[in-house]
A and B are shown apart, each in its own frame.
Chain A
C-alpha cells in the first residue's frame, strides 16, 4: 500500500529560527513529490513540486530536497516568521494516467515570538 510518513508530528520554534521537516514515502511508481502549506481552516496551498530528476527546489524561504533512491524528502524553512505557523503536508503522486496523490498527515509547525 502506498504510504507517506512525516516527522515530526508537531514542532515549536522561535521566530527567526530555521527548521527541517521530514517525509518518507513508499509510493510506486513515483511521478512527483509535493509540499503543501495548510493554514488553519483553509485549503492546502502548493509550495514546491519535484520530479524524479530534481534534488532540490526553492520557493522563497522554503527549500525542498528529494532523494529518490532512499525515497526521502525534506522541507527546510529559513528565518521563520509567525506566518509560517501552519501544517506542512508532503504529497506523492503516482505515475500513470489516473494521477492519484497520496497525502501525509502533515507536520504542525508553530512559530512563537
Chain B
C-alpha cells in the first residue's frame, strides 16, 4: 500500500490564482481530512469527509472547497489564493470510528506571493 499520497510537494502561487491540492489513499478508509500547519502552530482542520459524497467544514474552511466523489480521493481547492494561505497542507485518513490509527500524507508546502 502507498498509504496517503499528496501532490504537489511544493507550489508557489500568485495572489488571486487558484489550484487544487490532490490527496489519494489506497487503504479504503472512510474518513479523510485536510489540515493546515503554520509555523509553531498546531494542525488546524480545514475540511473533513466521513465517506464518499459527504463533506463538512472544520475550524478554518474559508477560502477552500472540497469534494469527495470516490472513497480514495479528497481534493482541496483553493480559489483566489491569498498570502494568508501560505502554509503546509496535510491530508490524512482513518478507516472508521473508534481508536484507529490516523495516517498522514507527506504534505504540500504552499507559498502565496
Q: A residues bordering B, Cβ < 8 Å?
A: 4, 31-32, 34, 41-46, 49-51, 89, 91, 93, 97-101, 103-106
28 residue pairs of the A-B complex, CB under 8 angstroms, read A32-B98, A41-B107, A42-B106, A43-B4, A43-B90, A43-B104, A43-B105, A43-B106, A44-B43, A44-B90, A44-B104, A45-B104, A46-B101, A46-B102, A49-B99, A49-B100, A89-B43, A91-B102, A97-B50, A98-B50, A98-B56, A99-B50, A101-B33, A101-B45, A103-B35, A103-B42, A103-B43, A104-B42
User: When A42-B107, A43-B92, A89-B42 are in contact, do A101 and B102 touch as well, CB less than 8 Å?
Assistant: yes
Enumerate chain B residues within 8 angstroms of A100, measured Cβ to Cβ.
45, 48, 58
Interface residues on B, range: 20 to 34
Enumerate chain A residues within 8 angstroms of B99, measured Cβ to Cβ.
31-32, 49-51, 93
Q: Are A106 and B42 in contact (CB under 8 A)?
A: yes
Q: Is B41 an interface residue (CB 8 A)?
A: yes
Residue interface bits B70-107, CB-to-A below 8 A is 1, else 0: 00000000000000000000101010011111111111
Top 9 closest A-B pairs, CB basis? Answer: A43-B104, A103-B42, A105-B42, A103-B43, A49-B99, A32-B99, A46-B101, A44-B104, A43-B90
Chain B CB count within 10 A is highest, among A44, A46, A51, A97, for A44
The answer for the CA separation of A55 and B102 in the assembled complex, in Å, is 21
Enumerate chain A residues within 8 angstroms of B31, measured Cβ to Cβ.
99
Q: Are A99 and B106 in contact (CB under 8 A)?
A: no
The answer for the CA separation of A99 and B79 in the assembled complex, in Å, is 27
Enumerate chain B residues within 8 angstroms of A51, measured Cβ to Cβ.
99
The answer for the CA separation of A45 and B3 in the assembled complex, in Å, is 12
The answer for the CA separation of A97 and B107 in the assembled complex, in Å, is 26
